[in-house]
Structure 1
């Protein structure tokens, strides 16, 4: 025990102001006398002995000036013995006596003084204990006035939170947190004059809600009171609790953190929990798709073990192998010192050594009794990790499991979002209707399970907008590419069979050569779909089995007499291998034209898709609408907008006009984007742009069989029929296709639609987006459709748009 006087405020700006107080142990002695009278066990004798020793010194039973406290060291030791369990180690107990409700400590354990004062024991506080925060001052004043009101006004106790003090640990360099408790049961307060009358009801309300310091200090100035006795100050290490609370709050505020900052916060809290700045942590949640482990590099960034391998070409294979093996029987894996580990861990030790890691552990993490990941614990210092460290982490594992569960949920949600956005018709604009229908089904099922049915999901009176970006002459280009590739393939195949005939003297090779030349002639003349199927049958069931036989089984039984049988066998294999290299779909020359065409088409469709995704996002901002794309050789899309899509937001035709202008603008942008791609394509391709203007509203419903929306009703189906037939429509009297590269074609029935779009065209011409070549065209009749007209306008591909 030590007798050192320390003012814990050190004159900080918001320190608890000096109060009129004196040290006295009279209240404590009275307390012991009362306990002695009540006791009937051997404790009574013990209390009597302590009282006898305390009363033996008359000065101890009166007010003691702070300067004279040191004279009563033996008595203070007895006080300590009565208030603290005798088996406690004072080096690990943070306990002290202070002036009553005051900031001056005069007697305490070695542990207390070591904690709050500098290492030289000069009595100066450690600088990070001093907190000039006004909230701390407010907390102290609330404690003081609570005591006054309880003792003098018999006021009910007011709950106030504990005071937390932050200190930097000299050994670990980490912040530690201590809960400060002040026990005032041996303090007394005496008014120096008549007590003012208070409205206790209003006072209690104010103290509970706001604790207005200005009001209470005006009603009850501190200098009105005198305090006598002593306070007991204890500090409890709550670093572990604080670390766990910090992890909890970080989890709750997940959305406010960037992923790296989020993980860094968790990592720092775990360091605090294990009280070692040299230990770091990694997390590896188990991610699965269709119940199979998957390799996600974003998640693996938080795993030190996997970071050692992510740059390797075999990283995915290594992870899947290790994870599959580990999660068959997940358990604690611990290497205190990598130097001492046995041979079968050699590869793992090598990987960790590459990261200068000396100590390593894996802890399986469970959620609902199912392993969902691992927590890595590692250090670059030998023997830093031991059983004590791992035991401290036990309290954090439920929170770590929640973090990993959140990661897994986010991963699965992202998968579902992609499915919803890219592969299904369930878009945000209409999702509310599906939720409502699902709820109605569950409600009806609970009430009457036998008769519950899914409602028909439909939207009445919506305005449709249709657009199509088609690759010009895609069928012709596809047939031409196939023709060129087959010509090369049959040229090489003919040469291959001719060489085999020379090497083998096998009559059937001669017949195969004849068939190849015949096919070549037919391909050169014309290729139809039926021809292509017959060509494929010939290659798959005649030519290729013939070649495979001689490549795999050799030619001994057919070979002529030769002085070098092995040499001829090798030459035949080389000839056949050369043919199959040329006909390899991924790299062979006999697929070069088809690959070039496919690559170019993918370039176009990827660029169009990307732009339409941006277009889709933009149009949702003004009024929610349904937007669905279809993949053909190009891209088609449907847009539906109307009051029934968003019942709680008033619809106006202004939104329809706005989206029509946006559609025309986007078609112009797509025209320019695809034209700029032409020089970059292996096979230059052009696109055509088509819009169908439907002036009236239609009804749509969700088709369960196709998982998409379609029109309903006989009149509405006419819209669908027209939409499907106009892509090949021709200009009346000319035979010319309506859709042309570099232009936008707009098909319509109603002259009012023509006037509306003419206004949009003039606006875009002013912006230098469209050319000054607007055409008004009559179209040929389609089967069951008459009276179609069209506008056609060129897109300015040269100048910059304003």
Structure 2
């Protein structure tokens, strides 16, 4: 719940309330009248009330609680049976008030234990406001149900975090209440609330001032009491926290973040002695390997490498795909070298959990303890649902490390695609021979003539619009936060200069709400950093309320960037996850595609991922080229594009900001030449005629269907652009087959495109990608199609 949007100008609830046991008494009498009898407990309560009629007062004086504590214990046994009284954390309070008058022993233990810290999960600065808001929300739910027959769905609004200071283990409790013993009365004529008013209220739930104006509460009275139970939701909350942490790019690389993960897993399993380890381990032809050098394991990576884990429980877990649990390492006969080292590290109880991503082993998780039998299979079942998230995290971490290594290689030397390494080696060898003959020379030009290009792209839809919106949202939040600071100071000690600052803040807000222009972000940040933030020390001299408001501002500021960086971070994380998914799958399938026929492949990230492929005899050293390989590669590209559309669509619901992707393929049947440019360390098309191909590539992503304003590229669809009829006929055959294979919906659209600058006569096929889970072997599909020359 975003409390910064909460609007509430009052501090106390505006309705009348009183403690009364009458609702309970009436409830029991009614039940007895309807059913003819009550259970022993109910009869005992009614008999007690007959003996002590003062308990049936409409307004029971809270000061008399101690006097009648034994009698009240009997009344409350209706809600807390003897077993529940002993085992549950419970409390009973006056209606919508902090006057608690009945407690279970575990409640008193919770709040009486000096080693436990109990705090609301919401921000402390807003506790009072949030409590009032929650009470009003609960009250309205009862009023709307009782007087207007309108059900207002409620989850739980109060959440408490309990931290054990001795071991830092954390538990979470949601607060549930029983409203069955509350009577509501109204003095005077009941306000008329239309259905339209009700919908306006529920559409703006955070604006409680609007609710109070629409349906005033000052004539309502709540009589009775509210029993509350603290329900343990630690597993749900800790698992949710773990998932959020693991989505962070540096979740397991950064040591501090990793330590926090370890502490959360301890809390989840309630094991203060637990140790967590994660290692990037894979299996290659039955052998253990570490593809990315990522290592947060129990044993030092400098002392133990992959080959040391062969024949151990680590390899066993990876081979079987199941966790391996050892209850007590010290009791094992003839422990191997790894088990001896673990014992030396104080590990007696250990579980090795394999981590899989797309059915491929990407690593193992270590769970260890210095106490035997700490970790059990029932404990492992608790973390079952977060194992896939750990797998994704280690996969992303491995890829990130590999990208860093590649970046260093690209900076220090040229990154050469394996398919063309032979040609660079040949050129380097020729250069060495010339230098040995004392000939003045430079490295020869590297050109591959007569190659066929394939181009494809998976693009994030409206990424620029979403990026601008996230910047707007973050700037607006920061302006609201800093305005709260200045407004609070002005409220305590009014000065004209504060009014001028508030005017300037509102001026920036109005401008940003209308749209983000070039320079707006820098102007806002410069104003805040140079004109407002330097005044904070002076502001804090005005008391604790101002200091708390400033602390709230600072808590929402990213310490590294010195600005609010929430929605932008969500956008960058979402874009990164999409690109990671696309890149990972593209690289995986491209590696397989090399077995068809060697070809040059390159990819690059924008707001999405684009790829270029060049295939031809000049690239394949000493291999004879046939157009069958080009056709196979085109079919491969179609299938991969469909699978990427499916994967990004499935990924959408788990992203911080859900984003759609579009797919695009450009068909070019004429061979061209590519030349390696030494200055940019990359390949480019060679020759004036071939440059047109590059121009087309750069402009087609915004192409529109002729005679409309509709963009060709659409979410969930694959667009194929071509300029020749024979290309269309070839791709039509592929699509008809892939429709039958379940990759696309059975409808092929044919379109003519609007002319682009310098590009005319383009046409397109568009098909809708069909949802599906089955992934066939991409390379075998060409054989099934029986492509002919």
Q: Which has the larger radius of gyration?
A: 1
**TM-score relative to the length of structure 2:** 0.50
